[in-house]
Amino acid sequence: MSLVTRKFLVIITLCWSGIAAALPQIEHWQTGNGARVYFVAAHELPMVDVQVVFDAGSARDAVPGTASLTARLLPEGAGDLNANAIAERFDALGASSGSSAGRDNASVSLRSLTDPALLQPALETLALVLRAPTFPAAAFERERNRALVALRAQEQNPGALADRAFYQALYGQHPYAQATLGTAQSVTALKRADLLTHYRHYFTARNAIVVIVGDLQRDAAAAVAETVVGRLPGGSVPPPLPAVAPATGGKAHVAHPSSQTHILVGQPVLRRGDPDYFALYVGNHILGGSGLVSRISDEVREKRGLAYSAYSYFMPMRQAGPFQMGVQTKNESATEALQVLRATLERYRAEGPTTEELIAAKKNITGGFPLNIDSNSDIAGYLAMIAFYDLPLDYLDRFIDQVNAVSAEQIRDAFQRRVDPERLVTVTVGNGK
Amino acid sequence: MKSLAVILLAAGLTGCATAPGPSRVVHSEGPVHETTLANGLKVIVREDHRAPVVVSQVWYKVGGSYEYDGVTGISHVLEHMMFKGTPNHPPGQFSRIIAEHGGRENAFTAQDYTAYFQQLEKSRLPIAFELEADRMRHLTLDPQEAARELQVVMEERRLRTDDNPQALTWEAFSAAAWQVSPYRHPIIGWMNDIENLGVDDLRRWYQTWYAPNNATLVVVGDVEPQKVFELAERHYGPLKPSTITPAKPRIEPPQRGERRIVVKAPAELPYLIMGYKVPTLKTADEDWKPYALEVLGGVLDGGRSARLPRELVRGGQIAASISAGYTLTARLGDLFSFGGTPAQGHDVASLEAAIKAQIEKLKTEPVSSEELARIKAQVTASKVYELDSVFYQAMQIGVLETVGLDWRLLEQYPQRIAAVTPEQIMAVAREFFIADNLTVAVLDPQPLDGAAPRAPAGGAYRH
């Protein structure tokens, strides 16, 4: 609350770069009931991070808001334990646990010390929460009400409104169109039974990934995985999500009494594992992905003083995730900022990067690699991504080479083929009076 | 991670002083080593050999709480201008050079400090030192660059505060609670003050506060302390010190009665803030009191099993969200604050009553041994978890040094927390959580569509 930072809201795009020296060694196996386990031993600190990821994000919602509310309900009751007992168990062990849902997946996490007297009961509590959640009726009502309050909070937040309108405009009838939180209407209509159905369908071993990073030997990690998910039913892998239809351009405006207009421009582009990924990732680093030294920030902020934050990114997902450019500026400057944003993209798309820009971007990405894997939480995040999106286990090892192999022409070509100015959707929120 | 060297923290405190050079005295305790250059720059190095990375942070003893009427926000604007070049490095070059070396860099301004940092692969540390030392004394402060950057900061203020009804309420709350203390001003500054800042103001502020003898250099990572000290000597050593005139104390007089304000802004939800004035490590008359308040904060809001989530969110279902706490390390007296949104069917009045009932309980009933044990377990664990981030380790050292405390307090922290008794928690609750010492701010939501205010919906949604 008290800090004011100079640069941008950090956009986490789950991208990293690599050098060979200090790569985490990924070990991979399956539990008896078919959950996939990904483990990296990190013996420096006496702690362990466990993440269980299910293909059970809001893209799987029968009623919008189901996945999110399911995640909120997991720690509200399990086996014989109520919410207070579960919270007390974790807190008294010095462990921290959380659960959340995004569009593609839902995850439950635990951080604990490795002292067996602390770790074992923490793991058993986590296992109970995953295996035997009770979805108490009173807790369901309460958490549904809290979700409705959270939805109302979004109504007073122009950034949240822009985000919501952007996904609706890009994805139309596709499940990605819905906000993870759902809508006031859908959440009001949700029943406890909807959560149970969702849980029974998706929280199964064959639909689960277990990520473990910490001070354990491999056999101990195997025991951790069996403890946490070993008693989940086998279940099955759900069918693929539908493909995303191409965007058809257009504009959406939401009136809001804010002093700034929030502008988002984009279209669906990238699936995880797409062959154009590296060209677009490195290319976007130069366009709007590298903070103040990127072209968009230079044009919007450094040259014109139009905004505090101006950026672009690709967010690869299971199905085509968005390319997004964003800026917030005082209402009077909205037209100018939008023009600068579009002109910067179109020029970059036409010309591609300069040789100097490409060299600088590669140096930044590859030289910064050690920072991206310098903590257990970083490594756990990458492991979850590699595992969930079925990326090759040597993905990190090859990352540097893949980045270095990208040419300026490949970037120009990929932007021309994949980013279409005619199909870009523009969302504005603000200028309400 | 496998191939990396493993060095766990030495357990014992091995307080020792060595003099490796002709003039340098180094104080070491475990992995932390401290020296002071001849020009007054304090250099603190913490070894962490887990990964081949390093973070370098320069902390200046200046921030929002050093400012006065008319120039609020100037520390933060100057922080922006620190990226706008020196005679040796034109605007933007700092960021470009760091980026080319694979680095991440940024800066932050708070009430009690302004800090600049670079995170790099360890061999690139000299790059950070060269650039950071250069801008410590040689900033250009070009008028055109300043005019443009002021526009950026105004956009930042619109984004963070003006278009955020809860942030507006916090800002008005602080301004009401403090009449003398500089904490009454927002860090980002009042809009009219930002609009009227000039490059001359910025130059005066830079000359007043930016000098090696008003700064602390903190380096954490896979480094050898002696080499870092030598490198610091090479880059920062030649910089001239200034005469630093300490800020005036501006101590808040005792509050004589409850204060209440209402903030009207376009919003959907009401919001409640309550704050009691409390002492900090810097200002307490007895040094156990801040730790007792810290434990009290844990009893209320330390994890999902703490009293506020248990009693107000889950039990009584009066709050949709609620938080509480204070800044143990604030340079001046602080507020122990509660911020919350009423649950559906409740208003801010019932939320306030529920919070006050929890406060009364703290005054009259000793906290249970289970609750204290839980807080101790959380502190013990978090001392390990925080080692997962070199940045956070550096940040803790930087904050303590910059507010005039000692980084050695970090090592004492778990024992000090463990020593707090149920009686001490009752004592601080009784001493500080009293009506005459309270400020309350309420966000009164106005229609987002500019229409006339609606009648309260659902009985009690709006207060």
- The model's pLDDT over A99-124, given as tens digits with 9 standing for 90+, comes to 999 999 999 999 999 999 999 999 99
Q: Express each pLDDT in B315-352 by its tens digit.
A: 999 999 999 999 999 999 999 999 999 999 999 999 99
Q: Which helix (H) or strand (E) holds A169?
A: helix A158-171
Shared domain check, A304 and A201: no
Q: Is residue B300 part of a domain?
A: yes
User: Span A224-230, mean pLDDT?
Assistant: 98
* Residues within 8 A of A (CB atoms), B 224-283 only: 266-269
Chain A CB contacts of B185 below 8 Å: none
Chain A residues near residue B150 by CB distance under 8 angstroms = 305
pLDDT over threshold 70, residue B243:
yes
List the single residue in B104, B158, B304 with the smallest CB-CB distance to A91. B304
**Residue B7 predicted with pLDDT over 60:** no
Total structural domains in chain A?
Answer: 2
Q: Is the pTM of this model over 0.95?
A: no
Residue range B277-315, pLDDT digits in tens: 999 999 999 999 999 999 999 999 999 999 999 999 999
Chain B residues whose beta carbon lies within 8 Å of the beta carbon of residue A118: 381
Q: Is residue B442 part of a domain?
A: yes
Nearest to A147 by CA among A105, A195, A184: A184
pLDDT for A152 beyond 90? yes
In the numeric block, which tokens belong to residue B289? 């009191």
Q: Under 8 Å CB-to-CB from B349, ≥6 apart: which residues?
A: B463
Helix, strand, coil content of chain A in percent (nearest 5): 45, 20, 35
Task: Tell me the pLDDT band of B24, cut-offs 50, 70 and 90.
Answer: confident
Residue B418 bridge partners (DSSP): none
Residues 6+ apart with CB under 8 A from B72: B64, B185, B186, B189, B190, B193
B195 plus B310 within the same structural domain: no
Looking at the structure, tell me whether residues B296 and B441 fall in a common domain.
yes
The shortest C-alpha distance from B374 to chain A (Å) reads: 4
Phi, psi angles (nearest 5°) of residue B84: -105, 20
Average pLDDT over residues B99-117: 97
Is there a domain that residue A235 lies in?
no
| Residues A259, B162: C-beta atoms closer than 8 Å | yes
Same domain membership, residue B289 and residue B179:
no
For A264, phi then psi, to 5°, come to: -125, 135
B386 CB within 8 Å of a chain A CB: no
The residue segments making up the domain with residue A187 are 27-229
- Residues of chain B positioned with their CB less than 8 A from the CB of A41: 1-2
**Is residue B252 situated within a structural domain?**
no
Residue A234: inside a domain, yes or no? no
Q: Which of B158, B187, B392 to mutate to test the interface with A (most CBs of A within 10 A)?
A: B158
CB atoms within 10 A of CB B223: 20
Provide the greatest CA pair distance for chain B. Answer: 77
Conformation bin of residue B389: beta by default, left when phi > 0, alpha when psi is -120 to 50: beta
Q: Which residues of A are less than 8 Å from B266 in CB distance?
A: 156, 257
Question: Do B195 and B270 belong to one domain?
Answer: no
A169/A300 same-domain check: no
Q: Which residues contact B268 (CB under 8 A, 6 or more apart)?
A: A152, A153, A155, A156, B445, B448
- Same domain, yes or no, for A279 and A390? yes
By CA distance, what is A155's nearest residue in B?
B268
Q: What is the mean pLDDT of residues A414-424?
A: 97
Looking at residue B327, its pLDDT comes to 96
Q: In which element (H, E) is residue B28 found?
A: strand B26-29
Chain A residue with Cα closest to B271: A153
The answer to whether the CB atoms of B448 and A156 lie below 8 A apart is yes
Within 8 A of B96 by CB-CB distance, chain A residues are 293, 360
- Domain holding B46, by residue range, is 16-236
Residue B69 contacts by C-beta under 8 Å, 6 or more apart in sequence?
none
A157 and A101 Cβ atoms separated by less than 8 Å: no
The answer to whether position A238 is within a domain reads: no
Q: Please, which pLDDT band fits residue B458 given cuts at 50, 70 and 90?
A: very low
Q: Which residues contact A151 (CB under 8 A, 6 or more apart)?
A: A181, A182, A183, A184, A187
Beta bridge partners of A67: none
Q: Using 50, 70 and 90 to split pLDDT, how confident is the model at A313?
A: very high
Q: Are residue A287 and residue A394 in the same domain, yes or no?
A: yes
* Mean of pLDDT values over B196-225: 98
Write the burial class of residue B288 (CB in 10 Å: 0-12 exposed, 13-18 middle, 19+ buried): middle
Question: Is A12 a residue whose pLDDT tops 80?
Answer: no
What pLDDT sits at residue B454?
44
Note the pLDDT tens digit of each residue in B134-193.
Answer: 999 999 999 999 999 999 999 999 999 999 999 999 999 999 999 999 999 999 999 999
Nearest to B166 by CA among A162, A1, A143: A1
Position A154 pLDDT exceeds 80: yes
Q: Of A91, A145, A259, which is closest to B374 when you measure between CB atoms?
A: A91
pLDDT of residue A13: 30
CB of B26 within 8 A of CB of B16?
Answer: no
- Pair A175, A261 in one domain: no
Do residues A182 and A61 share a domain? yes
Mean pLDDT, rounded, of chain A: 94
Q: Catalytic residue at B130?
A: no
Of A22, A142, A432, the CB nearest to B52: A22
Cβ–Cβ < 8 Å for B125, B217:
no
B266 and B212 belong to one structural domain: no
Domain-embedded: residue B263: yes
What's the whole-number mean pLDDT along residues B104-122?
A: 97
Strand residue runs (E) in A60-217: 77-78, 81-82, 96-101, 106-113, 208-214
Judge whether A64 and A258 are in contact, CB under 8 Å: no
Contact A308 B152 (CB under 8 A): yes
Residues A175 and A303 in one domain: no
A315 and A410 share one domain: yes
Residues A419 and A371 both lie in one domain:
yes
Do residues A324 and A221 share a domain?
no
**What's the total number of domains in chain B?**
2
Element (H or E) spanning A280, and its range?
A: helix A277-284
Indicate whether A275 and A207 sit together in one domain: no
pLDDT score for A21: 47
Considering only the beta carbons, identify the residue of A46, A259, A371 that sits closest to B53: A371
Which residue in B329, B344, B323, B331 sits closest to B275, CA to CA? B323
Q: Is A20 contained in some domain?
A: no
Chain A residue nearest residue B382, CA to CA: A94
Domain boundary among A229, A259, A280: A229
Whether residue A71 lies inside any domain: the answer is yes
Q: Work out whether the CA dihedral B128, B129, B131, B132 comes out positive or negative.
A: positive
If you ran DSSP here, which 8-state letter would residue A365 be given? H
* Residue recorded with tokens 């000359």: B207
Give the DSSP H or E segment for A289.
none
Instruction: Kindly determine whether residue A145 and residue B320, on different chains, have CB atoms separated by under 8 Å.
Output: yes
What is residue A432's predicted lDDT score, i.e. its pLDDT?
A: 73
Cβ distance of B159 and A371 shorter than 8 Å: no
Domain presence at residue A244: no
Asked whether residue A107 falls in the same domain as residue A214, the answer is yes
Q: And the tokens for A381?
A: 């995040």
Q: Is residue B459 part of a domain?
A: no
Burial (CB count within 10 angstroms: exposed 0-12, middle 13-18, buried 19+), residue B249? exposed
Using alpha carbons, select from B266, B454, B262, B451 the residue that is nearest to residue A259.
B266
A360 vs B99, B165, B373: nearest CB = B99
- Residue A433's pLDDT is 55
The β-bridge relationship of strands B438-446 and B259-266 is: parallel
| pLDDT computed for residue B4 by the predictor | 27
Predicted confidence band of residue A2 (pLDDT cuts 50, 70, 90): very low
Is residue B177 domain-shared with residue B325, that is, in the same domain? no
Comparing alpha-carbon positions, the chain B residue that sits nearest to A76 is B314
Taking each helix axis as running N to C, give the angle between helix B143-157 and helix B74-81, from 0 to 180 degrees, rounded to the nearest 10.
120
Residue A237 domain flag: no
Q: Is residue B452 part of a domain?
A: no
3-class secondary structure, A42: coil
B218 and B289 part of one domain? no
Find the CATH number of the domain harbouring A301. 3.30.830.10
Rounded-to-integer distance, Cα A168 and Cα A176, Å: 8
Is the minimum CB–CB distance between B59 and chain A shorter than 8 Å?
A: no
- In this prediction, residue A292 has a pLDDT band, given cuts at 50, 70 and 90, of confident
**Final residue before a domain boundary, out of A229, A263, A283:** A229
Question: Considering only CB atoms, which chain A residues are within 8 Å of B83?
Answer: 6, 292
Whether A137 and A145 have beta carbons less than 8 Å apart is answered as: no
Instruction: Say yes or no: B301 contacts chain A, CB-CB below 8 A.
Output: no
> Does residue A94 carry a pLDDT above 80?
yes
d(CA B132, CA B202): 18
Closest residue in B to A88 (Cα–Cα): B305
Residues B228 and B351 in one domain: no
Same domain, B79 and B226: yes
Alpha-carbon distance B123 to A19, whole Å? Answer: 14
Per-residue model confidence (pLDDT) at position B439: 98
Q: What is the mean pLDDT of chain B?
A: 92
C-alpha of A237 from chain center: 21
Tell me the residue ranges of DSSP E strands in B196-244: 215-221
- Asked if residue A352 has pLDDT above 70, the reply is yes
**How many angstroms separate the CA of residue A228 from the nearest CA in chain B?**
21
> Looking at the domain assignment, is residue A290 inside a domain?
yes
- The catalytically annotated residue of B79, B132, B145, B233 is B79
- Helix or strand (DSSP H, E) at B408: none
Using a CB–CB cutoff of 8 Å, tell me whether B92 touches chain A: yes
Task: Say which CATH number the domain at B178 has.
Answer: 3.30.830.10
Say if residues B111 and B188 touch (Cβ distance below 8 Å).
no
